[in-house]
Homo-oligomer: A and B are copies of this chain.
């Protein structure tokens, strides 16, 4: 049985970054962890329309994978289709935003979020409000780069460090949460530069999926 991590955008680079990030969670006696892109998705999910538009293709893809699945992870920070997939599937389903936030709550009292774009932030706030965790939010600030622009690693990292420091110093964040699956490869240097724990949300979700999958074997 396999934990399927579905990146609902079509960028293989993002999926490769995710695959590398979750490698330490693979073990000899399983479950397997497979990462895949959604070819129907846009190169990056940036607008509410992008979020809503990938739900139906994602549900179809998950339906195909259901027989082999022990769990699903939706690897986009807007958790598109999370509740619809929970309805559809008999397997545990995890969203990276939800798990990222919950994991950050074990590492600090106030979490700061690094969003890609300013327009992401009202969407995040609605989601944190729906989760009922606004009291734990220190701040949510954009780095001002779209998903595809994240491939310029030096520029991206320097923006993430600048925003991370603002979240820590001016907003009181004692843990940071990266607000995009495409930021996975920047976790370690960001943590080192800012000096507070940094949560990579796909790792957070995959770790919770791993536990749930193993416990369900019982």
Contact = CB atoms under 8 A, between A and B. Distances in A.
Interface stretch (A4-12, A101-109, A143-151, A152-160): A101-109
A109 B122 contact: yes
A86 B122 CA distance: 12
Contacts of A56: 52-53, 56
Interface in A48-80: 48-49, 51-53, 55-56, 59
Given A25-B215, A122-B174, A210-B211, A133 B132 contact: yes
A105 B131 CA distance: 8
B133 A130 contact: no
A208 B103 contact: yes
Contacts of A123: 83
A137 B8 CA distance: 31
A132 B131 contact: no
Interface in A102-118: 102-103, 105-106, 108-110
Interface residues of A, number: 61
A140 B218 CA distance: 28
Nearest to A139: B172
A35 interface: no
Contacts of A38: none
Given A51-B84, A98-B105, A99-B106, 10 more contacts: A27-B214, A52-B52, A56-B56, A98-B106, A129-B132, A132-B133, A132-B134, A140-B172, A207-B214, A207-B215
Nearest to A214: B24
23 contacts: A24-B215, A27-B29, A48-B83, A49-B59, A49-B84, A49-B88, A51-B84, A52-B52, A52-B84, A53-B55, A94-B106, A98-B105, A102-B103, A105-B131, A109-B121, A121-B172, A122-B174, A129-B132, A131-B136, A140-B172, A206-B211, A207-B208, A208-B208
A31 B9 CA distance: 34
